[in-house]
Chains A and B, each alone.
Chain A
Amino acid sequence: MRPKAAKSRLTTGARTGISLAMLESGRSRWLRVFLAPAAALIVFLVTSPAHAYNWMIKHGYGGCPVCHADPTGGELLTKYGRDMGDQFLRMRYGETGGASESGSTGTDFGGFDDFDEEDSAKPEAKQEEEKPKEEVKPAEPSKFPDFLFGAVPLPDPLLMGGSARLAWTLKEGDFRIFPMQLDVYGQLRFGDFRVGGSLGVSKVPVGSPHARAAQLTSGQGDQWNLISRSHWVGMDFMNQEITLRLGRMNVPFGLRIPEHVMWVREATRTDRESDQQGGLALAYNGSDLRGEILAIAGNYSINPDMYRERGYSLYLEYMTSSRAAVGISSLVTKAARDRLYLNETDVLRMAHGAFVRGTLGDPFVLLVEADLLKRSATEMGYVGMIQLDYEPTQGLHFIATGEVLDNGYPEGGGPTQSARVEGQGKPKLGGWLSAAWFFYTHFDVRVDAIKRQTEPFTILGQLHVYL
């Protein structure tokens, strides 16, 4: 068990040790013997055309709550997460990279070397320090990675952050530029109790499937709307190993990737863009096992009630080695009417699948996800992705992604007696070639070249500032 003190430091930015002993525990052995091969089998045998990614794992960062306020990752960073972003994410331009200095050797989800240990691993450096020398003033740590570049100091219980993402697309000669994301995030903690959420604005065309489902304000046209992707109250138990939350949250399912239009997120309706649901969630973050289950009570930004889905969603992930993890996901919801396929009534929607993420040699990270899809009005479908991330030098990523999708053919052909087409009764393939450059603390640019069957070739560019 991780010492209490160390656990309590997780969200305050201190580094934790690695409980290797956990891996040798009976529970872990059982899981290793049964869960990992089962998940691997599902991935590799049942869903062979499916495929994913998440490259922080190569630094031993398997878990989420050390760097993120959300126990299952995404959005708001802890103080420690900001420091690590500066150390491991961005290009260092000749400085000694954080990765080479302080990469974790951990085999757990906390997965960080204690910086005290790091010091002890450098006896020569320590001896140097012990030598009586003329007094050297220790360098003051940079405030630049902090909220608003350090311009607004925050008290310890308050975490704040934000994202401004400007995007442009080029599709069939049509160039568009638009604000993809303008959000602020926050979390306030009172002991084990915490309250968190996000606020932002969006402006999307009439009929767009994006952003609408997170609206607070009620503009139905293409005007600006205030949105909140998440807002919740939570309580931690067992030194933050367990977190119970009530509110609107990301749906725990599959790989929590940033590409919200990737088919594995879009088809399962589990993206972080606006697919969040209201409900009660229980998250567990153990040393080598983590997961979350959300009892879905519905999305109350969608009206009327007949369009709200209710049910559950969960994922469970097990760290099989210091830099690899396998997981399973499951989602079942019921709605009186489907909000996207409007003519479908009494809709039971299911998605079940597995995912893997792991390091293939130092600069390569592989992510794989495969899910089966089923709606009551369709035959069985599936969706999957495989993503390979290559980071030749810290801060610069080249990413290749393959996707496959079959949403399922309407039972009996459906009311329009549709033919079996790619994505609906037949496999539809897609490919992404991407480059991401984290050129400075808080800043990154990314370009994606996307080609999907039956869709025009698209180039997507993004400039992102994390506040």
Chain B
Amino acid sequence: MKQRIISRIACLLAASATLLVSGVSQASPDFPGEIATLLGMQCPPPCTLCHASPQGGDMLDKPWVGGMLTGGLKAQQVATVGPALGYVESQGTDSDTDGTADVAELRVQRNPSITGTTTPDEILCPPQYGCGARVSPRPPVDGSALVFAVVVAGFFALRTRRSK
């Protein structure tokens, strides 16, 4: 009996902790999303716009990043993206010397580190994710997720009731 009570309490605590803690945690927007928003790009650029690795987070090896760092870009601080872009734009920096300034290139979805003479310098949009994926700018509620959640919750409620 005691074991049963402890089990139920632990279960409730864990479920509550999960729901409550998950609710308050917020991941900060990442740099690609911020750049896309600030410059009105069609989609967020890949991490390789600046980094050597597609996972980001390591060596910044692309020429145009130098201007951003000079402009005050700080790792992990998304608030520094805007001022850094502003600095690069104000300087008119043209890292790949193709005649178009870096920020102007980004605005038209082109890579500021590639000249475009031998290799296309278009910044390709990353793939879309999910079954039947579509571009969806922050819908209030994802309908399919909601339906699925209700079905799963119903299943567990039914099981719990039966087990009693």
**Which size bracket describes the interface of B in this complex?**
35 or more
Q: A418 to B96, alpha carbons, bound, how many Å?
A: 12
Selected contact of B7 from candidates A150, A199, A423, CB within 8 Å? A150
Does A415 sit within 8 A of B, measured CB to CB? yes
Inter-chain contact A217/B76, CB cutoff 8 Å:
no
Inter-chain contact B7/A151, CB cutoff 8 Å:
yes
Within 8 A of A (CB), among B19-69: 21-22, 25-33, 36, 44-48, 52-59, 61-63
Does B90 sit within 8 A of A, measured CB to CB? no
Name the residue on A nearest B33 (C-beta): A206
Inter-chain contact A465/B18, CB cutoff 8 Å:
yes
Return chain A residues, CB-CB under 8 Å to B4: 143, 150
Selected contact of A341 from candidates B45, B48, B114, CB within 8 Å? B48
Write the nearest CB–CB distance from B15 to chain A, whole angstroms: 8
Return chain B residues, CB-CB under 8 Å to A341: 46, 48, 54
Inter-chain contact A307/B127, CB cutoff 8 Å:
yes
Inter-chain contact B58/A454, CB cutoff 8 Å:
yes
Q: A201 to B8, alpha carbons, bound, how many Å?
A: 24
Return chain B residues, CB-CB under 8 Å to A150: 3-4, 7
Inter-chain contact B25/A179, CB cutoff 8 Å:
yes
Return chain B residues, CB-CB under 8 Å to A456: 75-76
Inter-chain contact B130/A216, CB cutoff 8 Å:
yes
Does A455 sit within 8 A of B, measured CB to CB? yes
Interface of A is mostly: loop
Selected contact of B32 from candidates A203, A207, A415, A454, CB within 8 Å? A207
Q: A205 to B76, alpha carbons, bound, how many Å?
A: 12
Name the residue on B nearest A467 (C-beta): B14
Q: Which of A93-101, A218-226, A325-333, A393-401 contacts B (4 or more CB under 8 A)?
A: A218-226
Q: A331 to B32, alpha carbons, bound, how many Å?
A: 30
Q: A456 to B25, alpha carbons, bound, how many Å?
A: 23
Return chain A residues, CB-CB under 8 Å to B6: 144, 149
Selected contact of B53 from candidates A184, A219, A407, CB within 8 Å? A407
Q: A209 to B145, alpha carbons, bound, how many Å?
A: 21
Inter-chain contact A217/B44, CB cutoff 8 Å:
no
Does B99 sit within 8 A of A, measured CB to CB? no
Within 8 A of A (CB), among B111-159: 111, 113-114, 118-121, 123-139, 142, 144-145, 148-149, 152, 156, 159
Inter-chain contact B131/A454, CB cutoff 8 Å:
no
Write the nearest CB–CB distance from B108 to chain A, whole angstroms: 16
Name the residue on B nearest A425 (C-beta): B52
Write the nearest CB–CB distance from A259 to chain B, whole angstroms: 14
Selected contact of A220 from candidates B52, B128, B131, B156, CB within 8 Å? B128
Within 8 A of A (CB), among B54-92: 54-59, 61-63, 74-77
Inter-chain contact A303/B76, CB cutoff 8 Å:
no
Name the residue on B nearest A212 (C-beta): B129
Return chain B residues, CB-CB under 8 Å to A415: 111, 114, 118-119, 121
Does A339 sit within 8 A of B, measured CB to CB? yes
Name the residue on B nearest A169 (C-beta): B76
Q: Which of A84-92, A170-178, A362-370 contacts B (4 or more CB under 8 A)?
A: A170-178
Inter-chain contact B114/A218, CB cutoff 8 Å:
no
Inter-chain contact B30/A303, CB cutoff 8 Å:
no
Inter-chain contact A218/B14, CB cutoff 8 Å:
no
Write the nearest CB–CB distance from A442 to chain B, whole angstroms: 8
Return chain A residues, CB-CB under 8 Å to B129: 212-213, 215, 218, 220, 225, 301-303
Does A1 sit within 8 A of B, measured CB to CB? no
Q: A407 to B58, alpha carbons, bound, how many Å?
A: 12
Within 8 A of B (CB), among A419-467: 419, 421-424, 428, 442, 452, 454-456, 465, 467
Name the residue on A nearest B31 (C-beta): A207
Write the nearest CB–CB distance from A156 to chain B, whole angstroms: 14
Return chain A residues, CB-CB under 8 Å to B163: 152-153
Inter-chain contact B119/A343, CB cutoff 8 Å:
yes
Inter-chain contact A224/B142, CB cutoff 8 Å:
yes
Does A142 sit within 8 A of B, measured CB to CB? yes
Inter-chain contact A223/B36, CB cutoff 8 Å:
no
Name the residue on A nearest B8 (C-beta): A151
Return chain B residues, CB-CB under 8 Å to A303: 127-130, 133
Selected contact of B10 from candidates A149, A217, A221, A424, CB within 8 Å? A149
Does A380 sit within 8 A of B, measured CB to CB? no
Inter-chain contact A172/B46, CB cutoff 8 Å:
no
Selected contact of A143 from candidates B7, B63, B121, B133, CB within 8 Å? B7
Q: A342 to B7, alpha carbons, bound, how many Å?
A: 49
Given A217-B142, A226-B142, A301-B130, CB of A343 within 8 Å of CB of B124 = yes
Ranked 6 nearest A-B pairs via Cβ: A206-B33, A207-B32, A340-B54, A218-B130, A205-B30, A415-B119
Would you mind naming 22 contact pairs between A and B with Cβ atoms under 8 Å apart? A150-B3, A164-B18, A166-B18, A166-B22, A171-B76, A178-B27, A182-B18, A199-B148, A206-B33, A207-B44, A213-B129, A215-B133, A218-B132, A220-B129, A225-B145, A266-B55, A301-B131, A340-B48, A416-B111, A423-B53, A423-B59, A465-B18
Q: Which B positions have Cβ atoms within 8 angstroms of A?
A: 3-4, 6-8, 10-11, 14, 17-18, 21-22, 25-33, 36, 44-48, 52-59, 61-63, 74-77, 111, 113-114, 118-121, 123-139, 142, 144-145, 148-149, 152, 156, 159-160, 163
